Structure 1
Amino acid sequence: MDIRQLQFFVEIVRLGSFTRAAERLHVAQPAVSMAMKKLEEELDLVLFNRQERKISLTAEGEIFLRHAEKILDEVTSTETEMEELRGLAKGEVRVGIPPMMSAYFFPQIIRDFSTRYPNLHLAVSGEGATKIQKMILRGELDMGVIAGVSLPETLELRRLLREEVIACVPRDHPLAGRTSLTLREFASQQLIFYKEGYSLRELILDVLKEAGFSPNIRFETNLYTLVKSLVRKEMGISVFLRMVVTEDDDLVAISFDPPLYLDLLIAWKKHGYLSRANRAFVDFLLEKSARQAP
């Protein structure tokens, strides 16, 4: 058994296909199939159900997957740490940031971080919080910004900000003069809402369900800029973090009664190795967010 076989195996499982795994790994498909056949022979176990149209794991394959992922994580951590000991740190931070946050809180953070650490490379991926969590656990991201909703125990977490969640209406809406809005009033409005996987959606649906109200959702999208445009065009109202609406003269932010808040966190894989570049970014981020805390 060698590391290459483990890499092939994990990639096949992740993509659900020998062919797609071969394409992703830039090797010939027969080489991948041969490597998996040899691996099964060495283990004297069948790892894949090959009778089905889509690749799936046997019970033995499921157990082997857990060990293979742990081994590959350890190999990656060891390589990175050894490079740092030789002074050859990669100097890259792969971070996931939800689109709403990336447009309002992070541009200044990214600029200031690049100024302080000009030799470090920052690669930002814009995804919803749920997908960011999965990408961190799969090793596709080093860390990411997520919200304090449905948090897995497999992540290490540090709080960045607590931001108010507000109802957003156009300037000439009948509710625009209000300073607060009850959940009942909000649920009765036509709503422009976010798709599954967005923390704001989870939060609002949970509090409405707990209060015994069902939302009147007219339209769903994963594009927060489209949500703002449709609210402006009076197609419905929505929810945002307060920071997103503060500078929009044609939109009005209304607090909920009682107020709603969302904790924004920086997360990385628990017990995972953080390179010096990643540690520098976490420290910088916590330093900046502490200055903005009330």
Structure 2
Amino acid sequence: MDIKPLRYFIAIAKTESFTQAAQQLGVAQPAVSMAIKKLETDLGLTLIHRADRNIGLTDEGKKLLLHAEKIIQATDDALLEMSELKGLSQGEVRVGIPSMLGSYYFPPILMAFRHRYPTIMLKVIEGGTWQLQKMLENGELDLSVIVAETLPDSLQTQALIREEMLVTVAEDHPFSQLERVSPDAFFDEELAMFKEGYFHRRIVDKLAKACNRTPNIGFETNLIPLIKSITQQGFGISTLLAMVIEEDDKLITRSFDPPIWLDLGIAWRKDSYLSKANRAFLDFVSEHGRDNG
């Protein structure tokens, strides 16, 4: 079977459009339509519903999609490995990094990596941990930083850093007089939180569920400077990693009671070929994590 039609088929499934799939692939739309028609003829099955402008997969198409994605991923891995056997000097690393770490922990690591490996291209995707995990599982990322609390069997991880989630308040907030803050006291306050899908928010939601409390979220934003500003001015409190707090932030941090620790790791797909560029990045980041642990 020619795998090119499978690439076309996957693009159509994701975009739900022949036109957008063709644009994404950089080919003419008639070529996409002809390839899919031939694929259906060869298989003797209808794979795509073509009702007016609504494009969708048939039940047979949905089953083929599962196999097609695995075939394309395996083919791309094989081609990459064969290229590297020829002594490929350049490479690309597609890594997902959660916002908090992307802003405060990783910039010096990324710059140092580029200094050591100037021919390797770095593509950094910033987002929520669960969004990044799904992108990793789907082959859209090579590596991703994740919170290693629940790891699917399809992923393998290497420990990176251990960080404490700290209650963060203004300097004149009553919590500044405490050594630790109980979850109940925390949830009595109005909160400035990250949006759903980010580990910062997931930890708070998980804690609230365990305490049978409903968080009073007054501000929801992924902008760390805005969370800091809201907290500084006393319009709410938050919880941030210690690495995020700087001396001139005019913020006070306290541990939860009991303390909440996050184990952060860097993950990759077990069944995929990890390129030399990705292995170099993985080793570099792990080495840096040990040096700063």
- Count of aligned pairs: 293
Matched residue, 1:250: 250
Matched residue, 1:106: 106
35-44 or 151-160: which moved more? 151-160
Matched residue, 1:27: 27
Structure 2 residue matching 1:97: 3-state secondary structure = strand
Matched residue, 1:185: 185
Deviations along 1:262-294, whole A, 9 cap, x unmatched? 11110111211011110011111111111222x
| Residue identity matched to 1:38 | K
Matched residue, 1:288: 288
> What is the deviation of 1:137?
2.0
Deviations along 1:96-115, whole A, 9 cap, x unmatched? 11121012111121122222
Distance in 1 (CA, whole Å) between partners of 2:98 and 2:283 is 20
Mapped pair 1:156 → 2:156: yes
CA change 1:247–1:58 in 2 (3 A) is: farther
TM-score (norm 1): 0.94
Deviations along 1:54-94, whole A, 9 cap, x unmatched? 43322211221111111111111111111111112542111
Matched residue, 1:60: 60
Structure 1 residue matching 2:258: 3-state secondary structure = strand
Matched residue, 1:11: 11
242-251 or 32-41: which moved more? 242-251
| Residue identity matched to 1:44 | G
| Residue identity matched to 1:27 | V
124-133 or 54-63: which moved more? 54-63
Structure 1 residue matching 2:159: 3-state secondary structure = strand
CA change 1:217–1:109 in 2 (3 A) is: same
> What is the deviation of 1:213?
1.6
Name the % identity. 47
Matched residue, 2:80: 80
CA change 1:248–1:166 in 2 (3 A) is: farther
Structure 1 residue matching 2:153: 3-state secondary structure = coil
Distance in 2 (CA, whole Å) between partners of 1:96 and 1:26 is 26
How do residues 82-231 of structure 1 correspond to structure 2 at under 5 angstroms?
Answer: 82-231=82-231
> What is the deviation of 1:150?
4.1
Assess if the C-alpha contact under 8 Å between 2:228 and 2:249 holds in 1. Answer: no
Structure 2 residue matching 1:93: 3-state secondary structure = strand
Matched residue, 2:274: 274
CA change 1:266–1:227 in 2 (3 A) is: same
CA change 1:14–1:149 in 2 (3 A) is: farther
Distance in 1 (CA, whole Å) between partners of 2:54 and 2:222 is 29
Assess if the C-alpha contact under 8 Å between 2:89 and 2:119 holds in 1. Answer: no
Structure 1 residue matching 2:68: 3-state secondary structure = helix
TM-score (norm 2): 0.94
239-248 or 273-282: which moved more? 239-248
Distance in 2 (CA, whole Å) between partners of 1:6 and 1:172 is 61
| Residue identity matched to 2:55 | I
Distance in 1 (CA, whole Å) between partners of 2:76 and 2:52 is 33
Distance in 2 (CA, whole Å) between partners of 1:12 and 1:222 is 32
Distance in 1 (CA, whole Å) between partners of 2:248 and 2:126 is 22
Matched residue, 1:51: 51
Which aligned runs of 4 or more in structure 1 are off by greater than 6 angstroms? none
| Residue identity matched to 1:281 | F
179-188 or 91-100: which moved more? 91-100
CA change 1:114–1:53 in 2 (3 A) is: same
